[in-house]
Amino acid sequence: MNPTVTGDDAAPGRSPSTPLTVEQYLAVVLDDVPAPAPTTLPLADCAGLILADDVAATLPVPPFTNSAMDGFAVRTADMASGVGVTLPVSADVPAGTWPGPLEQGTAARIMTGAPVPDGADAIIPVEDTDSAPGPRSCPTTVTLTADVTGRVRAGVHIRPAGEDVDVGDVVLRTGDVLSAAALASAASIGHGTLRVFARPRVAVVATGAELVAPGEAPGPGQIPDSNTILMTTLARGWGADVTVVRASGDTADELADALARAAADADVVVTSGGISAGAFDPVKTLAAEGRADIGFHRLRQQPGGPQACGRVGDAVLLGLPGNPVSVFVSAILYLRPLLAKLAGREAGEAVVKRNDRPTANLAAPAIPGMETIEVIADAEFRARRGKMRFVPVTVVDGRARPVHERGLGSHLIASLHGANALLVLPEAGADAPDVFSPGDHLAAIPLDPALRPEKDRHS
């Protein structure tokens, strides 16, 4: 990934380039990221991962013909329909044993899941006999009433081998997310390991002399470090293994050391701050001195106009802005798709769940796999020329209100937890107004799974 300069960061003598759209910058981030290589892991380590190969059954399911009930295995030929009968019990078949053939004219007591003896072609539930259910000695005989023999049919309460899946049937497909149900299926068809794409490894680099750890009292000019916990929790929620690397100070040398330590065991290194036009921005200092492969970009979005990306060793570097709401929005737009690509997730289409009255205001960035929903403005929202705005909102009954009375402020982190969606305000101009009024239809990115058009079927 080569350094790129745009806008105010253009090289001397070069005209400033046009700020990038969300889609253009995401392409810069993703284009140099290679497809991940699959690895083989035991089932216990595969939860939530993406399957790299189709999985076919090596065992039938059920693996052998077994009983669906606690009761007695019988031969229907030994009973006359509508005539009561008492049969001697010739065998006791608990689960986990393998019985011999059923003797003609007899019954075998059998438990649920136990193999059906050869020759038996029906199971009579214990409740339909004169034998009491529950733990007790095996009876010497079992009596069936005329009503029971009148109802019994060959095959009743028997689960044939391969009834669900036969050997060679493909049960799981490449690209499937391995839920609890999927892993149980893999185990049932004979697999103890699977070829998957491993979790992306993310290192969050915490920098900033003005930051103090959460819970500590800030001194003069200091603030609590909310960005590190924000980035760490988001990345973990998107399936990454996350570590935190703290810089020992705020100089370019100290940042360079922290980045090198972070990249040693990570696929992605994430920083926040240090990429704008400040006089003490160490990320820019490293790039200016030729000590880091980092490109700086101005984007047509708010919040999160300044962004940076590049390489640190073999790891992708994603430099997010410093203000917490900017970090939140930028992570959703760029870190999440980056982690999805590294995790082997197929790029889905950007989806807008429209109501019956679509309008021209539903512009939203076309990000692979990102769902958007249509909502109705329940307050006034101001757009900006040259900027797509992302506003934290609360959506209730399809109506969106800002989570803070000031609407959008990139520093308003304390109210962010109240948002269940990001409202997307298209750039003001010929196709969109400067102000959206209550009742206008707009697109939003759902943050709460309950708002998403499609939800995972398995827990």
Q: What is the C-alpha to C-alpha distance for residues 377 and 406, in angstroms, rounded to an integer?
A: 16
Q: What is the C-alpha to C-alpha distance for residues 37 and 364, in angstroms, rounded to an integer?
A: 32
Number of domains observed in the structure of the chain: 4
Cβ neighbours around 88 below 10 Å, total: 12
Same domain, 265 and 389: no
Residue type, 227: N
Quote the Cα angle for 253-258-260, to 5°.
95
The CATH number that applies at residue 179 is 3.90.105.10
Residue 153: the pLDDT is: 94
pLDDT digits (tens, 9 = 90+) for 69-95: 999 999 999 988 789 999 999 999 999
Residue type, 48: G
- Contact by Cβ (8 Å): 256, 290: no
Identify the band that residue 288 occupies on the pLDDT scale cut at 50, 70 and 90: confident
Q: What is the C-alpha to C-alpha distance for residues 22 and 298, in angstroms, rounded to an integer?
A: 10
- Contact by Cβ (8 Å): 432, 383: yes
Residue 51 within a domain: yes
Same domain, 208 and 295: yes
Same domain, 333 and 221: yes
Same domain, 209 and 277: yes
Question: Which structure tokens are listed for 234?
Answer: 């988001």
Identify the band that residue 278 occupies on the pLDDT scale cut at 50, 70 and 90: low
Q: How far is CA 158 from the centre of its chain?
A: 38
Same domain, 46 and 192: yes
Residue 277 within a domain: yes
Same domain, 422 and 304: no
Q: What is the C-alpha to C-alpha distance for residues 206 and 320, in angstroms, rounded to an integer?
A: 12
Checking if the pLDDT of 3 tops 60, the result is no
Chain position carrying tokens 């009968």: 85
Helices and strands (H and E) in the chain: how many: 8, 29
Q: What is the largest CA-CA distance in the chain?
A: 104
For the question of whether the overall pTM of this predicted structure is more than 0.75, the answer is yes
Last residue of a domain, one of 159, 189, 221: 159
Q: HEC states along 36-59?
A: CCCEEEEHHHCCCCEECCCEECCC
Same domain, 142 and 104: yes
Checking if the pLDDT of 413 tops 70, the result is no
* 299 Cβ contact partners less than 8 Å away, ≥ 6 residues apart: 19, 20, 21, 22, 25, 305, 306, 307
Q: What is the C-alpha to C-alpha distance for residues 388 and 399, in angstroms, rounded to an integer?
A: 20
Q: What is the C-alpha to C-alpha distance for residues 340 and 237, in angstroms, rounded to an integer?
A: 12
- Contact by Cβ (8 Å): 207, 252: no
Q: What is the C-alpha to C-alpha distance for residues 193 and 189, in angstroms, rounded to an integer?
A: 12
Residue 329 within a domain: yes
pLDDT digits (tens, 9 = 90+) for 140-157: 999 999 999 999 999 999
- Contact by Cβ (8 Å): 391, 402: yes
pLDDT digits (tens, 9 = 90+) for 22-33: 999 999 999 879
Q: Which helix (H) or strand (E) holds 149?
A: helix 146-151
Residue 242 within a domain: yes
Domain region containing 293: 202-343
Same domain, 114 and 233: no
Q: What is the C-alpha to C-alpha distance for residues 392 and 417, in angstroms, rounded to an integer?
A: 9
DSSP tag of 442: E
The CATH number that applies at residue 445 is 2.40.340.10
Bond before 303 cis per omega within 30 degrees: yes
Same domain, 326 and 406: no
Same domain, 50 and 77: no
Checking if the pLDDT of 239 tops 70, the result is yes
Residue 431: the pLDDT is: 78
Residue 244: the pLDDT is: 93
Checking if the pLDDT of 274 tops 70, the result is yes
Bond before 62 cis per omega within 30 degrees: yes
Whole-angstrom CA distances from 107 to 75, 98, 130, 145 are 8, 16, 13, 14
Checking if the pLDDT of 248 tops 80, the result is no
Question: Which structure tokens are listed for 402?
Answer: 């800002």
- Contact by Cβ (8 Å): 281, 249: no
The CATH number that applies at residue 291 is 3.40.980.10
Among residues 114, 107, 91, 103, the alpha carbon closest in space to that of 148 is found at: 107
Same domain, 279 and 421: no
